Amino acid sequence: MRALSRFGELAWFKSPVKYNPVHGYHQVPYMGWRWRYTSPNEDIAQLIENTVEGLSTHVEWTLDRTRRNWLLLPSRILREAQGLEDPAFSNVVHSITVQDQEFCLKALSDLDLIILRLEQIPIPKS
C-alpha cells in the first residue's frame, strides 16, 4: 500500500495474504486499489505500467484500469477468467491457488519485486 500511496491518496486497497495457514497454501497475488478523489493522471498509470513491464518477472503482469478500481494482477488470471467479472475472477484465483503453487510462488516473488521498485522510482512532478 505504501508503494502506491506515494502517487496519490488511496481510498481503498486490497491484496490477499501471501500464505493461507488454514488451508496450507500460498495464494496467487494481486493488488487492487481506488484513488480517493480523482484517479491520478495518465502519466502515473503509464509510470506504473512501464515500471512493471521493465522488470524481469517470472510471470506476465497487467495493470487493469477498465473499472473504477485499478488492479495489478498476473495476466494469466485475466486470460483464464476471460475478464474480471465475479464469480469467474474469484473462481480462477482459487483454482490457480489450489492447483498451481509453483505459479503462486513465482508471482509472489514478482509482486515483492514490483512493490520494491514502485517504492524506489521518483515521483513525477505535478
Q: 126 in a domain, yes or no? A: no
The number of helices, as runs of H, and strands, as runs of E, in the chain is 5, 6
Q: 98 in a domain, yes or no? A: yes
pLDDT band at residue 126, thresholds of 50, 70 and 90?
low
Q: 125 in a domain, yes or no? A: no
pTM of the model: 0.89
Query: What domain range includes position 43?
Result: 2-120
Q: 59 in a domain, yes or no? A: yes
Q: 64 in a domain, yes or no? A: yes
Closest CA to 97 of 2, 23, 10: 23
Number of domains in the chain: 1
Q: What tens digit of pLDDT does each residue of 7-30 get?
A: 888 888 999 899 999 999 999 999
| Joined grid coordinates for residue 109 | 516473488
Q: What tens digit of pLDDT does each residue of 68-84 get?
A: 889 999 999 999 998 88
For the four alpha carbons of 39, 43, 108 and 28, in that order, the dihedral sign comes to positive
